[in-house]
Amino acid sequence: MRLLPGWIGLAAVLALTLGPLIPLGLQAGAAPGFGGPEWGALRFTLLQSGLSAGLSCLGGVVLARALSRQRFPGRRLLLSVMGAPFILPAIVAVLALSAVWGRSGILSDVLAALGLGRLDIYGLPGVVLAHVFFNLPLVTRLVLQELAAVPAEHWRLAAHLGLSRGTVFRYIEWPAIRTALPGAFVLVFLLSVTSFAVVLALGGGPGAATLELEIYQALSFDFDPGRAAMLALAQYALCLSLGLVALRLARQAGFGPGLDLALTRLDGAAYRRADALVIGLGGLFLLTPLAMLAARGVEGLIAGLPAATWPAARLSLVVALSSSALGMALALAMAALIAGLRRAAPARARLIEAAGFLALTASPFALGAGIFLALRPVVDPFALAVPVLIAVNAVMALPFSLRILLPALERVEADYGRLAASLGLAGWSRLRYLTLPRLRRPAGFAAGLAAAFSMGDLGVIALFAPPDLATLPLAIHRLMGAYRMQAAMGVALMLVGLCLVIFVVFERLGAADDRA
């Protein structure tokens, strides 16, 4: 009974990820798949994704440890602002990065002034740089969440026993980090695999292409939906197998529950300088491009935003909040299902968990075209554009919200499952008095992330957008397509601002009743 919503959620996820490929596959005979250039592109894809994920994880762990040890004014704001790169539309991020790291970016200017050469990041370095910029905040937050879940009693004990830094890392921090790291790695890896516009723009040449480009090509110039479906399927297969491997490696730390003591780590003082350096560098890396965007955006804001911005902002907000709500329900139901099956059928639980990753490698073009084809015989797809957008965004955010909620939910189950069972807490009561209160903080984070993610997503709407309906990312694209770069930056700044507000509000909601 408790698992039923989870099964329904799983069905919805499969219907929205794999389902749209069916009408595509039925369209036309697929052209034969892989040749030399495709293998070259695949090799590059695996290399850049591996490097992006590895570096994001490394940087994320270092930054998360520093942040978990230190408390300073503005820490929470920093955490929120740091998350902004994650939601930037690709095209805006490329411009923001080039303003810092490009041939005429501020870094190059400094180097040139010092008589050194200008930077040339185009190629592998640029692609990896961009992906680390996007994903470092995500990894940091995922790891930080696990570190924060270590019961305060353990830090107290560690401080009391005077455990060495190595011992603290090995026996307290690492088990916590390990809970989050494989999942985080897979998230970044797969995001990098499916990234498309960024890889091309900073990759320096056609060799720096991903399967996503092939899918796009198959759906536009080549018009071969069958091939698009096949390539999309290949991406899913990669996703599922990687997900399964990573989940095998992930372990619950199993610290057991603490008593929500209001106590932070006591080892901050010893690390103050090193941590300040790490946090400073991380902040610079993430915030400078945003500052460049803000500088350009402010000009756009002063010049006045185009009238079309306001309806677009309204629609974006509606879509973001609805898909966040739907996505949270979906993630909770699936997390309960996975946690419920964990003991009885671990293999099946893992498979479902890996299926939660699927949406990561979903090609927005293939999805859009497939849903369009599926709906068309039944109903005017335009009429359903907004609900479809909400549903797709909810599923697209699932890999993130599930990664955030599942470990927390399993912790709740491990710590209080027996007590709840013996008291007969079930259904709504269990959700209200056990699950939600214990999940408040991660749920606030996940809901904010899902909303922001869906705000910044162009996704299927590119194919679906009825003429008089645009989201903010679409408005940005349209402005840029019409030479209005300055106005586009203004709208981009507004998008980032809105996302931050949503993010901060959700996180505050999550922490409102938190005495820890």
Partner 1 sequence: MRQLFLALLSALLPFAAAAQDRPVLTVYTYDSFVSDWGPGPEIEKRFEAVCDCDLQFVGSGDGAALLARIRLEGANTRADIALGLDNNLIAEAAATGLFAPHGLSPKLDLPVAWDDPVFLPYDWGHFAFVYDSTKLADPPDSFAALMAAPESLKIIIEDPRSSTPGLGLVMWIKAIYGDEAGAVWRRLAPHILTVTKGWSEAYGLFLEGEADMVLSYTTSPAYHRIAEGDDTKRAAIFSEGHGMQIEVAALMAGAKHPDLARRFLRFMLSDAFQEVIPTTNWMFPAVTPAAGLPEGFAEPLPAGASILLPPEKVPALRKAALAEWREALSR
Partner 2 sequence: MIGLEGLVLRRDGFRLTADASLPEGSITALIGPSGAGKSTLLDAFAGFLAPEAGRITIAGRDMAGLAPAERPVSILFQDHNLFPHLDVAQNLGLGIRSDLRLSVKDRRAVEAVLADVGLAGMAARRPAALSGGQRQRVALARALLRRRPVLLLDEPFAGLDPALRKEMLDLVARMARRQAMTVVMVTHLPEDARRIAGLTALISGGRLHPPQPTATAFDKPSPEMAAYLGA
Q: How far is the CB of 508 from partner 1 (least distance, A)?
A: 18
- Report yes or no: 354 and 329 within 8 Å, Cβ to Cβ: no
Nearer CB in complex with partner 1: 180/366: 366
Diameter over CA atoms, the chain: 73
Partner whose footprint covers residue 345, from partner 2, partner 1, none (CB < 5 to 8 Å by kind): none
Q: How far is the CB of 4 from partner 2 (least distance, A)?
A: 16
Interior angle at CA 456, CA 42 and CA 240, nearest 5: 40
Q: How far is the CB of 259 from partner 2 (least distance, A)?
A: 5
Partner whose footprint covers residue 433, from partner 1, partner 2, none (CB < 5 to 8 Å by kind): partner 2
Partner whose footprint covers residue 423, from partner 2, partner 1, none (CB < 5 to 8 Å by kind): partner 2
Contacts to partner 2 by CB under 8 A: 256-262, 415-416, 418-419, 421-426, 428-430, 432-434, 437-438, 513, 515
What is the distance between the alpha carbons of residues 153 and 380, in angstroms, rounded to a whole number?
59
Partner whose footprint covers residue 458, from partner 1, partner 2, none (CB < 5 to 8 Å by kind): none
Per residue, the 3-state secondary structure of 154-212, as one string, reads HHHHHHHHCCCHHHHHHHHHHHHHHHHHHHHHHHHHHHHHHCCHHHHHHHCCCCCCCHH
Partner whose footprint covers residue 415, from partner 2, partner 1, none (CB < 5 to 8 Å by kind): partner 2
Partner whose footprint covers residue 434, from partner 2, partner 1, none (CB < 5 to 8 Å by kind): partner 2
Q: How far is the CB of 258 from partner 2 (least distance, A)?
A: 8
Q: Phi-psi category of 105—alpha, beta or left, where left has phi over 0 and alpha has psi -120 to 50? A: beta
Nearer CB in complex with partner 2: 120/260: 260
- At what angle are helices 309-341 and 4-17 packed, to 10 degrees? 130
Nearer CB in complex with partner 1: 3/374: 374
Partner whose footprint covers residue 166, from partner 2, partner 1, none (CB < 5 to 8 Å by kind): none
Nearer CB in complex with partner 1: 266/374: 374
Q: How far is the CB of 124 from partner 1 (least distance, A)?
A: 12
In 3-state terms, the chain is what percent helix, strand and coil (to 5)?
75, 0, 25
Q: How many CA atoms lie within 13 A of 191 on its CB side?
A: 31
Nearer CB in complex with partner 1: 485/516: 485
User: Is residue 64 helix, strand or coil?
Assistant: helix
Q: How far is CA 308 from CA 186, 219, 297, 461, 483, in A?
A: 38, 29, 16, 16, 16
- Report yes or no: 121 and 102 within 8 Å, Cβ to Cβ: yes
Partner whose footprint covers residue 308, from partner 2, partner 1, none (CB < 5 to 8 Å by kind): partner 1
Nearer CB in complex with partner 1: 115/427: 115
- Report yes or no: 240 and 176 within 8 Å, Cβ to Cβ: no
**315 phi/psi in degrees, rounded to 5:** -60, -45
Partner whose footprint covers residue 40, from partner 1, partner 2, none (CB < 5 to 8 Å by kind): partner 1
Q: How far is the CB of 394 from partner 1 (least distance, A)?
A: 14
What is the DSSP code (8-state) at residue 87? G
Nearer CB in complex with partner 2: 377/422: 422
What is the chain's Cα-based Rg?
Answer: 23
Nearer CB in complex with partner 2: 73/424: 424
Q: How far is the CB of 331 from partner 2 (least distance, A)?
A: 21
Q: How far is the CB of 415 from partner 2 (least distance, A)?
A: 6
The amino acid at residue 422 is S
What is the DSSP code (8-state) at residue 117? P
Q: Which residues of 139-169 are buried (b: 16+ CB within 10 A; e: fewer)?
A: bbbbbbbbbbbbbbbbbeebeeeebeeeebe
Q: How far is CA 512 from CA 253, 350, 501, in A?
A: 26, 33, 16
Nearest C-alpha neighbor of 300 from the set 35, 491, 496: 491
Class of residue 251 by CB neighbours under 10 A (exposed 0-12, middle 13-18, buried 19+): exposed
Partner whose footprint covers residue 200, from partner 2, partner 1, none (CB < 5 to 8 Å by kind): partner 1
DSSP string, 37-66: HHHHHHHHHHHHHHHHHHHHHHHHHHHHHH
Q: How far is the CB of 142 from partner 1 (least distance, A)?
A: 29
Q: How far is CA 392 from CA 16, 104, 340, 360, 453, in A?
A: 7, 38, 26, 12, 12
Q: How far is the CB of 154 from partner 2 (least distance, A)?
A: 15
Nearer CB in complex with partner 2: 380/514: 514
The amino acid at residue 115 is G
Nearer CB in complex with partner 1: 91/187: 91
| Start-end of H helices in 304-376 | 309-341, 346-355, 364-375
Nearer CB in complex with partner 2: 269/422: 422
Nearer CB in complex with partner 1: 186/315: 315
Partner whose footprint covers residue 257, from partner 1, partner 2, none (CB < 5 to 8 Å by kind): partner 2
Partner whose footprint covers residue 342, from partner 2, partner 1, none (CB < 5 to 8 Å by kind): none
Q: How far is the CB of 316 from partner 1 (least distance, A)?
A: 11
Q: How far is the CB of 171 from partner 1 (least distance, A)?
A: 47
